[in-house]
Amino acid sequence: MTLSIAHPTEAASPMRGLLPLWVGVGVYALFLVAGNRLLIDPDTLWQVTVGQWIIDHRAVPETDIYSFTMRGQPWISTQWLAQIAYAKAYAVAGWSGPVVLADGAIAATFVLLARILSRRLAEGTTLVFVAAALALMVPHLLARPHVLAMPVMVMWVGGLIDAADRRAAPSFWLLPLMALWGNLHGGFVFGLALIAPIGFDAVLNADTKARKSLVLWWTAFAAAALAASCCTPYGWNSLLASKKILDLGGTLPLLYEWRAAQFDSIGPLEICLLLGLGLALLRGVRLPPMRIVLLLGLVHMALAQTRSAEILALIAPLLLAAPLAKQIGGNEGNDAEAAAASPMRGLLVASVAAFLVAGTVAYAAVHPFRPHPHSAPVAAVAELKKFNLTRVFNNYDFGGFLIANGVAPFIDGRTELYGEKFFVDQHTAVTLSRPDNLFRMLDEYRVEATLLRTEDPAAKLLDHMDGWRKVYSDDIATIHVRESGAMHAVAPAVDPNTN
């Protein structure tokens, strides 16, 4: 007869492994309280507007219908599904809707990250990775389509890496994730690009006899994933649209999220890189060759483009989990999986969910959410609409608010539509780094009014330009209208008899 002995710690296991739940609760509460921060990006405004247009017309856009400079030019929205989600959320709950939707996606991302890591690593190590990821991602956590795609990215990459850890082919059940990602955000191209190096890592570490079969399976999966990514209203044109963004060249350094990392003051990226380097030197961490290549590639991307810090934050821990578990110790016993069916656990999760829903409703009732005034010049646009003008030269950040308010912008956040030259010319016009571009664009596009930030150099110059009259100004925006009789200076008289 066999006698089974249950240890006290094992008896308590049904309530262990709840770290992902508490991580999700903490992250959700944090961004709910800081909800207005999710609305600081002007792109959120036009994303909601485009989503509502898609709902109303039961079609996706093929050409620009918003600006007066590019109207009728080819333009597709590879983020159409996310835009519909934001538009629906806004229709239901005002700006609280997009905030809660984005907050939920952010929390789900960290729940998934913590869950995958905790299968391999101790809870303390998992928390370190989660905290580092949160610090790196905060600047780019906004109510925009990429946030809704982040949980999908974690599941997709997690599935690929899990297959590589098992020296196996990835499950074809991952393919619906790629189809979903392809309709949520253009970043799906990166997910496709990861198949080759992760697959090579799996093949490189597999038994020699199994390598040929593994290569065939990964190749078949890559082909199927490419086909799945084209399951969008635009087909393979979604791939070409993503390429247009990468071809913007000189435009990208002028956009904050595409700029290279700055180290003039210490920040989260520098701290994480230094601590990671210190840990590797202290513990002698060893990684398989392809994991090193992938990790260095992610670091390079984060240094080259600020927005790529979130990719480093989410994917690097997934790459490191299995190798680190072998070297610094991992999660023995897999308590998280063992406790999955506990009735007490299910009751706790349901109670927490109910509490979050009630808390969200109560907080939103007393703390209304709204876009940040920095990119939403409410009073200025209300004044501008009184003039009933149709050709307005605007600051880039105001484009989204103009679209949302039915005013055709000169330029907005759809940078791939306008192209590198147009964007750079407009930027140099507003900053007066090329004043001739300002004069040329005002005349070439027969601009009737300007809506610029009050501190913009171009706005200050227009204060003194004949033919332009200031009609409104506040701390955020200033409006000038074209008026032939507006004179700000009189040329000095010249005496022809004076030598």
Domain spans, the chain = 16-353, 376-482
* Residue 269 DSSP SS3: helix
CB 204 within 8 A of CB 288: yes
On the question of pLDDT at 111 being above 90, the answer is: yes
Q: Which residue has the higher pLDDT, 15 or 489?
A: 489
* Residue 389 DSSP SS3: coil
Tell me, yes or no, if the pTM score tops 0.85.
yes
On the question of pLDDT at 4 being above 50, the answer is: no
Q: Which residue has the higher pLDDT, 261 or 289?
A: 289
Q: Which pLDDT score is estimated for 359?
A: 92
CB 130 within 8 A of CB 107: no
Q: 388-399 pLDDT, tens per residue?
A: 999 999 999 999
On the question of pLDDT at 340 being above 60, the answer is: no
**268-283 and 123-137 are packed helices; what angle lies between their axes, rounded to 10 degrees?**
150
On the question of pLDDT at 169 being above 60, the answer is: yes
Q: Which pLDDT score is estimated for 456?
A: 96
Mean pLDDT calculated for residue range 428-436:
94
Strand partners, 478: 452, 473
Which one, of 360, 386, 369, lies nearest residue 472 by Cα? 386
Q: Which pLDDT score is estimated for 181?
A: 97
Under DSSP, the state recorded for 413 is S
On the question of pLDDT at 12 being above 70, the answer is: no
Q: Which pLDDT score is estimated for 5?
A: 35
Burial zone of 57 (CB within 10 Å; 0-12 exposed, 13-18 middle, 19+ buried): exposed
At residue 460, φ and ψ (nearest 5 deg) are: -70, -35
Q: How far is CA 364 from the centre of its chain?
A: 24
Q: 408-422 pLDDT, tens per residue?
A: 999 999 988 998 899
Mean pLDDT calculated for residue range 468-486:
91
Q: 205-250 pLDDT, tens per residue?
A: 888 888 999 999 999 999 999 999 999 999 988 888 777 776 676 6
Q: Which pLDDT score is estimated for 7?
A: 41
On the question of pLDDT at 10 being above 60, the answer is: no
Mean pLDDT calculated for residue range 466-471:
92
Q: Which residue has the higher pLDDT, 401 or 331?
A: 401
